[in-house]
Every structure is written in structure tokens, then in C-alpha cells.
Structure 1
Amino acid sequence: MREIINFTISREAENLHEESFVIPHELKTLYLDIKVPEGCSYIGFVVLRDETGAIRLQKLLGYGAQKLAVGTEGTHTAIGGVPGRILPGEWKIYFGIFTETVKQQLGDKTIVLETVVTDEISEITEPIGKWIWVEEGSFHISPEKYDWNQIYQAETRWYKGDFHTHTRLSDGKETIRNAMKKAKDMEMDFYVPTEHNLMHTGWCDTDLCILPGIEITTEDGHFNLFGITEMPEKLLEIVMYNGTPQMEKYVEETIKEANKKGWIVSLNHPFLTVWKWKYGKTSLEDFQCVEIVNDPTYQDAPSSNDQAICFLDELWKDGHKIWGVGGSDSHNLIEERYEGADLPSIAGDPGTYVFCEGLSPKNLMEQVRKGHMCVTRFCKIIPQITVEGKEYLPGDKITENGENIVLIYEAQIKGIKERPKVFLVKNGEKLPVKVYEKTSGDFYIKEEIELNDQTWNWVRLEVRQRQGAFLGYVNPVYCGAMDSVCSTIEEIWEKMGEN
């Protein structure tokens, strides 16, 4: 069989296009060759449904050739696909556009995407391989194929990873295999793929702990979901209604679905120029993390990241226990630099360290929920927090009682040459602390700070270069209680404006 399907794309076109084709008899492999005009990458993604209506493939038209396939095995199925039988009947192919990219790239122009649908043997751009996560014919992660309890490393320690990454499934430029090589070079232990409105259905062989994720992407903001077990129910509606008033409804429903199913919701780069978060009515109870450092090599990142840290402080001042995470948001090849950047954008910069008693997907999720995390650049921070001899981790509630709780905060800061500036931030107030040099490249601090569990108290650690650039953030410990005044993000924005 061979059929050509054309999609006409413009600013005036619908966000989601649909065409049908017929498979006359059972096939071993179905191939899609999508010819994207030069200079028009990343304008949208393709979705393929089989004769039952089940989604069998989803892929952003991004970097490199777009020669895709779905087959009976992972070796004959492109990333983002679901292996299984290719049965006769009416199949459907959808093309969903990213409205913000279309506006940026096309302007008032119109283009045609030609898609050749065939069973003629052809090259596959990037097959999944043998490690398939999903059940046959569906976008549900199979507990038989993906083991949430698998122990990748048995030690009790701080594990390094990245909670915001991209590969060629969406708009990243690296293959999955190259991404794993770079992750090992960056001494990472875990990796969370978060593609734009797309879900990985498998992975390459690796000894890293891979936690399934997704980045829900709209014109008015992005958020990550960690530990997903299936494709979010309203994903196609999010594509179809992007840029319309209905969009906010589907965003809210997706966040509610995530919380119901036990996925972690993380607010991405909330102040980053055109990608800032604009859904002011978002309930603060609905997300567990805020991305406080996003791709620090990007032009507008330093100031927007500092705003995100201030935003999280305002949340804590209002009594909300929400945790800071980092994300490289890396899209580029290793030799590429953003304009004006001295360093490449690479997964693991920043790194987020999570304290786990053995590294498994389940343990990783549990510790993120508890806030047992540090976010760093160019260094590793090992905090040691004690009260009356009892040790606490970042994110913990201090259980000692009294109006004069003495907290001893020690921390090692390893791997930097220049003596850093270090602050303990208590209830939003920055308190500079003395920094001692332990050995060349290793520094430490030790401070006592008083807390009072009769009121709401919290303390976190922040590390910066002498010139002020970000080096590290350690999530707060806290005691006492507070009835929050603010319930939505826009109310926190107002508080930030007042301050």
C-alpha cells in the first residue's frame, strides 16, 4: 500500500487536523515519511490511531529526518510508538500544531506537510529498541514491563539527576542513546524525560533510573508531570484548544488527574519571558514542586530563575510546603551555545540531588514528595541538620517542641574553586554565614539558628558565587504551623508585588 496525505498549516488553520486511510490487510510494519519544509521544524506533532481508535504513535516533527514507523516489535517501532499488530481497517492520522511556534516561524505564510503512508520497507529514524514500557496497543505503562520497585543502586545517599529534559521525541536534538552517554558524563544517577505533550513508550538499555514524565505545554505556561503511568486524558484537547479560553479548563483537569493518579506536578520556569506561567487561578494545593532553576545558560534565565526562588519563598512565607527542583530543559547538541553563553546547555546542569535509601523509581517519587532535595550548579551540597542530636533532611518537619529550638545547620559544599557566599534563609530573611575552607575546592559552614514551634518557622540554605550567580538551593526544614492566606498563584504574585 502507498498513500499520500497532505496537511495545510497556517495561523488560520485548525489546531488539530485529521485524515483517514485504509489498511487493506495485516502488515508487519507501517511506515510514515513526513516531509517537513526547510525551516519549519517543531511546528507540531503527529498522532496515529489504529482501527480500534487506540493511539499507536505520537511524535513531534523536530530535529532530523521524520521517518517513523509502527511495527509488531520495538525494533520496528519509532520512539513514541506502541508496538503491536497492524490490523486492517480504517486508521487515522492527526497533526496538531504548536500555535506559538507557528506564529514565530510562519507568520502569514501557508505550508503543506506531505505524509507518505506505506508498507514499503524504509529506514526508521530512531526505533525504541527492546525496552518497551507500555502495554500492547495502549499508552498505559505496564507494571510487568516497567518495574517501579527496581533498585538501580542500593546505597543510602544523595543521588543526582535532572527533572526536565528533551530528546528527539519532541524538540530535543539528541537521540535517547546519546542523551544517556551525556548523562553518564555528568555523573547522573536518574533521568526524567519530559517531552512537550508527548510520552515515551520505552527507552534504550541503561543503568540509569529513568522516571517517566511529560511536559504539558500551552501558550500560557508549561508544567511537568513526574512518574506518569499513562498518557494524560485531555492531552489532545490541550492541543486542539491551545490559545483559546477553553484551554484553562483542560489544564485544570489535567492537574487534577495527575493528583488523583499519584503523579507529581511541577510548575516549570514560571517567570521565563514568553514561557512564563499565566494561569493565575491555579490552586496552590494542586502542585508539589516549583522549578527554581531552569537552563541557566539561556539568555533570560538568571533573572527569571531568581524570581522563581523569590516566588517559592513567598509560598513558604504563606505556609505552603512546596519544593524547589531544578531542570536543565536541555535541547541542544553538546557543541551548541545559546547566544552570549559561555557554557553549553546540557542535562545535569543544574543537577537535582535527591536523598534515597536505595534508588528506585518508587523511592525517587517518595523522596521528591518529602522535599528531600538540593539543586546545584558546579558543586555538590551535603547538608547535615540536627536538633538535640536528631538528624533531619531538607523537607523534614522539626519534631522537637519549644520556643527556643536550637537547630545546628552544617553543610559541605564540594567541587568549587572559589570561596562561595552562603546564606541561611529564615522565614524569608537572608542571613549571611561564615564559610570555612576544608580542602582545596571543598568548603563548609556550621551555624546555630533558633526556631520557635509556637509560630510558623522555616529555614533553607542558599549558595552563590561571589559575583552573585546561583550555585545551590537546599529545600527548607520547618516547624510550627500557619493557616495560609493565599490559595491561588495570582494571590502570591500580588504579595511579590507588594514586597
Structure 2
Amino acid sequence: MEKTITFFVNRSTPAKLEETITISKAMKRMTITSKTDWAGYIVIRDEKNRIRLLRMCGYGEEDFTIARHASHTSPGGVPGPVGAGRWKICLYLFPEFFETIPEGETIPLRICISGEKRKLQETMGSKVWVDRHYREQLWLGYFNSKEFYSNRTGWYLGALHTRTRMSGGENTIREAVKRAKADGVDVYVTTERNVVATGWKDSSVMTVPGVELTSCFGDIGLIGIDKMPERLEELIESRGTKESGQYLYETVREAVKRGWILNLEHPFQKGSEWKEDAIPVSSLTCMEIGKSMEEFAKTSVLLDRLWGEGYRIWATKEKETLIHCEALTPEIFLENIKKGHMVLAENRNSELNIRSEGEEYLPGDELPEQNRKIDIRIYIESARKPEVYIIHNGERIRMDVIQTESGWKAEEKIRFRKGEWNWARVEAFHPEKGLLFYSNPVWQGEKETL
């Protein structure tokens, strides 16, 4: 069986193109080959209207396969029978693709569907997350949130904002896993751009499903998802338009209802600056502080303002977030992100110790309400002398820094007062090297948010 679908595209063509094909009898596999250079997303639904492939095209390989077994299915695909009946092919074209079409011209965009066996650059991996008994959307019913990776209590390095070739990244899944292991990453979150990973390579690096939603109203990572967001296809179709704001808002509400972690990514990045109308501040779990010192400065000021207003939103960083866990399973990892048990550190040997009234606390902890003294001690492993600050209820207090054999240490005491809203965090940076350490706040009391 071989069929070629031809779409005729010009600058006024809608972003969504759709065609139905009829498969007369069941096949061992379905291979999808693009005969035209284009950029966008492809969604394939089977005879029961279930999604069988969702991924970005125009980057990486040109052939995708859906087969009975995961070992022969492309990333973003759902393994299983390729049944007889009417299958639907949807393309969502990027605005940038339309700009490559000469004004006034129409070009053919061809997609070939066949049962031909092709050598794949990579497959979806041995860990299949998607539940094959779903209906129209993707459900990750086979992901094991209780899978055990370590009984060690301590800090685990998390890569919370990632992508592969499945959504325009540089690395294959195999390369991403290999690089994560080399970088000492303990937890890898699959935040593909508008694509839900349906499985992953088996690895000692714990992997947690997520998705990045991109829009002109802001980009947000959903961490710990158990299904495909209901409005994901509408978000893809309306990419770059005002309509995407409503779909994004509805998806945020769905995420809050399902208990997913909402991590606002680079809120000051040009072209995708955060718009609170679409992503309400009250829905956020975390906020990414960005890569550059300029972006960090803006985001840390915003976070401190929100803490001053009573919001409890935790800071994260793409690949330098340390999460404290009493053991390592996906469930425990997600719980500790929600608690804010995180620091952002260039060097994982840096240490923070927070003690009060004979008890030790972690960043993110709520302290029992009373008048109290808090002793904060920090060690920064760095060749250069850092500037270290406590931010206490919005006031910046510079700490005296003392050199040690391998780094720098500082100590300061502050007070929390009963009946008041109190919070405090620590940060360290070098004027030339940038951010070295950032802790999420400890806090006490209550304050009604605006």
C-alpha cells in the first residue's frame, strides 16, 4: 500500500491542513515520509480517532513509523496495530514556513504513506508510557510514578527544561540520555515543545513526563503530566495568534485541576514575554530565572515582589536545579518540587544550612509561627570571591564572606516575628561569572494574596 497526499499551499492557506485516507486492510507498519521541505507539527489519528503520532517536523529525520512494537515506532508515536479503516493526517504549519513561499505562488506539499520498512534513526524507547486503551487523547497510564531509583536522602540534580529532535532540539533521545548522565543529572523532565513523549529510553537517569506549551503569551512547562492537555492541538494551530491566549488559559486551568506542576519559563524573553491574563500568577508553582544575569535580575526582582505579596512561587533553572528528596521516585521528586525544596547551584558541593530553635530546615519549608531567630550559614565552592546576600522580607542584607581552603563561607542571623508575613532566601553571585547560588525561601505566617 502506498498513497501520496498533496496539499497546495500559498501564503493565505490556513495553518491547519487535514486529509483522510482509507486503509483497506491491516498493515504491519505505517511509514510517513515527507516529500517536501516544510516546518510544523504532524498529527496522525487512526481508524478509532486515537492519536498515533504527534511530533514536530522540519528538523532531524524525514521518515516516521508507527508499528506494533515500540522497538519499531518513532518517538512521538504510539505502538500498536495499524488497523483497516479511515485514518486522518493533520499538518500544522509554522508561520515561518509561509514566509518561505514566494508572494503569489502556490507550492505542492507532499506526504507519502506506505507500509514500507525504513531504517529509523531512533525509536521511542523500551519504556512505553502511553496507555494503548485510551480514546482520542494521549494518556500516560503506563508511566510508573512509584518506580524506585535511590534510597539516598539528599540533593538530586534535575534538568527541568529540555527537548530533543522530537520538537526541534539538537539531540536524539539516546544522545540526550547520554549527555544527562555525563552531566551528572539525576532527573530528566521531557518538556518537548507542544509534544508529549509517549515513551523513553531505559536509563539510570530517572525520567519524568512533561510538556512545554509555547505561545506569544508566555511559555510554560507542565511537569508530571499524566495525559496530553485537552487543548494542545488548538494551541498548536493558533500558534502566534491572539486566540492562543484563551486555549493557554484553559490548559493552565486543566493543569491546576490535575495537580501538574506549572513552571513559567523565561518570563522576560522577547517574543514570549509572560502575559498574566493567559497564565495567572495564582496558578504558578515555579518560575524559571533565566540564563543571563540580566534575565536573572529581572526575574528575581519579580519573584521577590510576588513573595512580598504573599505568593509562594519557587525559582527553578533549566539544568541547574537541585531538589532535596528523602529517596528518589517520580512521585517523591514531584512532591518536593511543590514544597520548594530546591536550590539553584552552579556547583553541587555548595551547601546551605538553616537552623532555628534547635531545628534544621530546608528551602521551601514553612516554619511554625512564633518569634524566632534563624541562623543561616552558607558555603560556596568557587575560585573567585562571591557576593552573598540574604533577602529578608524584600530587604537585601550583604553577608560577610570568609575564605576557606576550597571556597567561601558566610553566616548571618535574622528574626521572624509572630503574627507577621516573613520570608527569607539566600543568593550568591560573582560580578563577572554570574549566578553561583540561589535558594528558595523559608517562610512563616500568612498573607492574603492580591
TM-score range, shorter chain: over 0.9
Shift of 1:279: 4.2
Residue 320 of structure 1 is matched in structure 2 by 311
The partner residue of 1:199 within 184, 196, 201 is 196
Letter of the structure 1 residue corresponding to residue 235 of structure 2: I
The partner residue of 1:306 within 297, 300, 314 is 297
1:9/1:278 CA distance change after superposition, 3 Å = farther
User: 1:58 touches 1:81 (CA, 8 Å); kept in 2?
Assistant: yes
Shift of 1:413: 1.9
Q: C-alpha distance in 1, partners of 2:362/2:65?
A: 47
Residue 423 of structure 2 is matched in structure 1 by 458
Q: C-alpha distance in 2, partners of 1:83/1:279?
A: 39
Residue 446 of structure 2 is matched in structure 1 by 481
The partner residue of 1:116 within 112, 115, 129 is 112
The partner residue of 1:283 within 280, 290, 296 is 280
Q: C-alpha distance in 2, partners of 1:107/1:472?
A: 50
Shift of 1:400: 4.4
TM-score, with normalisation over the residues of structure 1?
0.85
TM-score, with normalisation over the residues of structure 2?
0.94
- The DSSP-based 3-state class of the residue aligned with 2:249 is helix
Shift of 1:111: 5.0
Q: C-alpha distance in 2, partners of 1:7/1:277?
A: 35
Residue 21 of structure 2 is matched in structure 1 by 21
Q: C-alpha distance in 2, partners of 1:44/1:23?
A: 25
Describe how 1:210-359 pairs up with structure 2 within 5 A.
210-280=207-277, 282-293=279-290, 296=291, 301-327=292-318, 348=319, 351-359=320-328
Q: C-alpha distance in 2, partners of 1:73/1:260?
A: 33
Letter of the structure 1 residue corresponding to residue 415 of structure 2: E
* Number of equivalences: 446
Q: C-alpha distance in 2, partners of 1:11/1:356?
A: 52
- The DSSP-based 3-state class of the residue aligned with 1:20 is strand
Q: C-alpha distance in 2, partners of 1:261/1:460?
A: 29
Shift of 1:36: 4.4
The partner residue of 2:375 within 388, 396, 408 is 408
Shift of 1:174: 0.1
Letter of the structure 2 residue corresponding to residue 313 of structure 1: D
Q: C-alpha distance in 1, partners of 2:297/2:107?
A: 40
CA deviation string 1:38-69 (max 9, x = no partner): xx5xx311000000100000110143222101
Shift of 1:292: 1.1
1:249/1:311 CA distance change after superposition, 3 Å = same
Shift of 1:238: 1.1
Q: Does 1:419 align with 2:385?
A: yes
The partner residue of 1:438 within 404, 411, 428 is 404
Q: Does 1:140 align with 2:139?
A: yes
User: 2:174 touches 2:201 (CA, 8 Å); kept in 1?
Assistant: yes
Residue 56 of structure 2 is matched in structure 1 by 60
- The worse-fitting range, judged by mean Cα deviation, of 374-383 and 124-133 is 374-383
Shift of 1:286: 1.1
1:281/1:231 CA distance change after superposition, 3 Å = closer
Residue 84 of structure 2 is matched in structure 1 by 88
Q: Provide structure 2 residue ranges, at least 5 long, that are not aligned to the other structure.
A: none
- The DSSP-based 3-state class of the residue aligned with 1:315 is helix
User: 2:4 touches 2:113 (CA, 8 Å); kept in 1?
Assistant: yes
Q: C-alpha distance in 2, partners of 1:24/1:112?
A: 26
Q: C-alpha distance in 2, partners of 1:9/1:389?
A: 70
Letter of the structure 1 residue corresponding to residue 363 of structure 2: P
Shift of 1:352: 0.3
The partner residue of 2:437 within 447, 454, 472 is 472
Q: Provide structure 1 residue ranges, at least 5 long, that are not aligned to the other structure.
A: 328-347, 486-499
Residue 338 of structure 1 is matched in structure 2 by none
Letter of the structure 2 residue corresponding to residue 191 of structure 1: Y
Q: C-alpha distance in 1, partners of 2:164/2:106?
A: 28
- The DSSP-based 3-state class of the residue aligned with 2:295 is helix
CA deviation string 1:64-109 (max 9, x = no partner): 222101000001110000001110011011011233x447766857
User: 1:271 touches 1:305 (CA, 8 Å); kept in 2?
Assistant: no
- The DSSP-based 3-state class of the residue aligned with 1:165 is coil
User: 2:222 touches 2:262 (CA, 8 Å); kept in 1?
Assistant: yes
1:387/1:66 CA distance change after superposition, 3 Å = same
Q: C-alpha distance in 1, partners of 2:101/2:264?
A: 29
- The DSSP-based 3-state class of the residue aligned with 1:397 is coil
Residue 66 of structure 2 is matched in structure 1 by 70
Q: C-alpha distance in 1, partners of 2:422/2:36?
A: 55
Letter of the structure 2 residue corresponding to residue 181 of structure 1: K
Describe how 1:101-180 pairs up with structure 2 within 5 A.
101-102=96-97, 112-136=108-132, 138=134, 139-142=138-141, 145-180=142-177
Letter of the structure 2 residue corresponding to residue 201 of structure 1: T
CA deviation string 1:140-193 (max 9, x = no partner): 112xx3211112111000000111001011010101111111111111100101
1:104/1:213 CA distance change after superposition, 3 Å = farther
- The DSSP-based 3-state class of the residue aligned with 1:439 is coil
CA deviation string 1:171-227 (max 9, x = no partner): 101011111111111111001010111000000120111010000112332111000
Identical aligned residues as a percent: 33
Q: C-alpha distance in 2, partners of 1:103/1:438?
A: 59
- The DSSP-based 3-state class of the residue aligned with 1:422 is strand
